[in-house]
A and B are shown apart, each in its own frame.
Chain A
Amino acid sequence: MSHFLWIFVSAAVINNFTLSYFLGLCPFFGVSGRLDTALRMGFANLFVLTITSFCAWFLNVFVLVHAPYLRLISFIFVIASSVQLVEMIIKKTSPALFRALGIFLPLITTNCAILGLALFQTNRDYSLMEGLVFAWGAGVGLTLALVIMAGIRVEVSMQDVPKLIRGAALNFIIAGMLSLAFMGFAGLFSQ
């Protein structure tokens, strides 16, 4: 049990995908302007990561044993098409959920966090369950980073910041501070 907990906490805070692996930075800076979009983006990410983890495990176990050089190509294609499929199913069965996640799903399919998860999972030889826990941890971590970032940006937008630093430069420096704070979690476990 503690093994799964370790994977989860490690992916969520200690090795946070955004703040310490720099994965998924485009949405991190792109949609963190408002709190509610950030939260939805985070949940959409969590959702796609779960599907990805399952697909990657399936491909690794049943297909890629015979053709490892096709890994990258098959990952991208299978993940993109399964997300599309799930998107269609959600649209039919649960319009409310679709409205909440809808526009973000196609955007994040080719996001580096998604492919990164599939690759890390492969490199570390995770089993299906370990992979899923890893995906949830990563998704929670991404959501956490996005929501914190959005909260800070909303506050900062109301402050009197010099014009020169407004925009991208300021966002990077805020992200740097957050990343510094998340480094503090490194002492959480001793392993």
Chain B
Amino acid sequence: MTQQKSFQTELIKGLWRENPVFVAVLGLCPALAVTNSLANGLAMGLATLAVLVGSSCLVSGLRHFIPKPVRISVFILIIATFVTAVDYVLAATLPDIHKELGAFISLIVVNCLILGRQESFASKNPMWLSIADAAGMGGGFTLALVMIGGVREVLGSGSILGFPLFSDDFVPWVVMVMPPGGFFTMGLLLLIMAFVTENRRRKT
């Protein structure tokens, strides 16, 4: 691979072309579990983004000192430290959202997206590229969560960010804010993605 890695390409690839949720289908548990409203999706996305950037930065800074055989444990230790910090910060600043997300903030530790980025990118690349990669992937994750959360909130509660969208005679599709709605929304969005990709491939 002679392709020059630049800050911009690393930053942009995670947002859409290699979107962690829609293309790589990683980090599904939080992507579906907490996205019953746009605000929750956004909070979860930003929390994950913060953990991802923090741990990528530290892992790539320490990459020459981490012994290969125990690297996974070290990554998990670093990630868990950042998650604990984010957990406490959220509890102190946004107690309502923290209560709503509950155990899922702690479960960021086992989000395969974060460990995957450490293993495949941050542990092999210089710090500023790793930060770009983490910010891009975290941004893409947040984008996906906001999309899922948005669709579910509009259909399930008939509102967006708490503001009602429709007139009073709109009957909300309650199922969309319940667990099955998460699966359906995700399946639908993946179907649309597949449709768009297929169309583009046919044109070229």
Contact = CB atoms under 8 A, between A and B. Distances in A.
Interface of A: 19-26, 29, 69, 71-73, 76-77, 80, 110-112, 114-116, 119-120, 123, 164-165, 167-173, 175-177, 179-180, 183
A11 B175 CA distance: 21
Nearest to B26: A26
Contacts, number: 110
A176 B187 contact: yes
Contacts of B77: 73, 77
Q: For chain B, what secondary structure do more than half of its interface residues adopt (helix, strand, loop), or is it mixed?
A: helix
Contact of A115 (B25, B28, B107): B107
A164 B102 CA distance: 37
A169 B194 contact: yes
A167 B58 CA distance: 36
Given A110-B76, A116-B103, A172 B184 contact: yes
Nearest to B103: A119
User: Looking at chain A's contact residues, is the secondary structure mostly helix, strand, loop, or mixed?
Assistant: helix
B84 interface: yes
Contact of B179 (A19, A29, A80, A167): A19
Contacts of A112: 29, 107, 110-111
Contact of B84 (A73, A110, A120, A183): A73
Interface string B176-198: 00111111101110110011001
A180 B83 contact: no
B80 interface: yes
A165 B198 CA distance: 11
A180 B180 contact: yes
Contacts of B84: 69, 71-73
Contact of B28 (A22, A77, A177, A183): A22
A169 B187 CA distance: 4
Pick the most buried of A80, A112, A115, A177: most chain B CB atoms within 10 A of its CB.
Answer: A112
Contacts of B159: none
A24 B115 contact: no
Contact of A172 (B103, B107, B179, B186): B186
B107 A173 contact: no
A87 to B, nearest CB: 16
Contact of B33 (A21, A73, A114): A21
Interface string B64-105: 000000000100110011011001100000000000001100
B161 interface: no
B115 to A, nearest CB: 7
A125 to B, nearest CB: 14
B80 A73 contact: yes
A183 B179 contact: yes
Nearest to A164: B194
B179 A179 contact: yes
A68 B147 CA distance: 35
